[in-house]
Structure 1
């Protein structure tokens, strides 16, 4: 008899300095981020992935 082993996924603990992407986008799909005078765009895709572009 073969049994599949399942293990519980560990709960990830965010870094205290982390920010929620949905809060950064203020409920929308994009946020503008400035670093050293350079402007970046953070976008949440329909699949729930993050894309950061310059």
Structure 2
């Protein structure tokens, strides 16, 4: 299932994505965001970056593919 967009109400910053509790410490110290937090249980998600939209896809081989 393809998500049309991320829900702004579910997070406000990348730091909020990094921690289930919304604490920025994890993101600020490591720069990591768990893919499950981005995908929300879906196989694909659209990511808006500036004026462009990218598609992040979780494959059957457990890989991530980002395409423009």
In structure 2, runs of 5+ residues without a counterpart are: 1-28
Equivalent residue pairs, number: 41
- Runs (4 or more) in structure 1 with deviation over 2 Å come to none
Higher relative contact order (CA 8 A, sep 6+): 2
Bigger helix fraction: 2
In structure 1, runs of 5+ residues without a counterpart are: 1-14
Q: TM-score, normalised by structure 2?
A: 0.52
Q: TM-score, normalised by structure 1?
A: 0.64
